[in-house]
Chains A and B, each alone.
Chain A
Amino acid sequence: KQEVTQIPAALSVPEGENLVLNCSFTDSAIYNLQWFRQDPGKGLTSLLLIQSSQREQTSGRLNASLDKSSGRSTLYIAASQPGDSATYLCVTNFGNEKLTFGTGTRLTIIP
Chain B
Amino acid sequence: DGGITQSPKYLFRKEGQNVTLSCEQNLNHDAMYWYRQDPGQGLRLIYYSQIVNDFQKGDIAEGYSVSREKKESFPLTVTSAQKNPTAFYLCASSMARETEQFFGPGTRLTVL
Contact = CB atoms under 8 A, between A and B. Distances in A.
Interface of A: 4, 31-32, 34, 36, 41-46, 49, 89, 91, 93, 95-104
Interface stretch (B13-21, B43-51, B67-75): B43-51
Nearest to B104: A43
Contacts of A104: 42
B100 A49 contact: yes
Nearest to B49: A97
Interface of B: 4, 6, 31, 33, 40-43, 45, 48, 50, 56, 58, 88, 90, 92, 97-98, 100-106, 108
B42 A96 contact: no
Contacts of A36: 103
Given A4-B42, A97-B56, A98-B45, A44 B90 contact: yes
B43 A101 contact: yes
Given A41-B108, A42-B105, A97 B31 contact: yes
A101 B42 contact: yes
23 contacts: A4-B42, A32-B100, A34-B101, A36-B103, A41-B88, A43-B106, A44-B90, A45-B103, A46-B103, A49-B100, A95-B97, A96-B97, A96-B98, A97-B33, A97-B45, A97-B58, A97-B97, A99-B45, A99-B101, A101-B43, A102-B42, A103-B40, A103-B42
Nearest to A103: B42
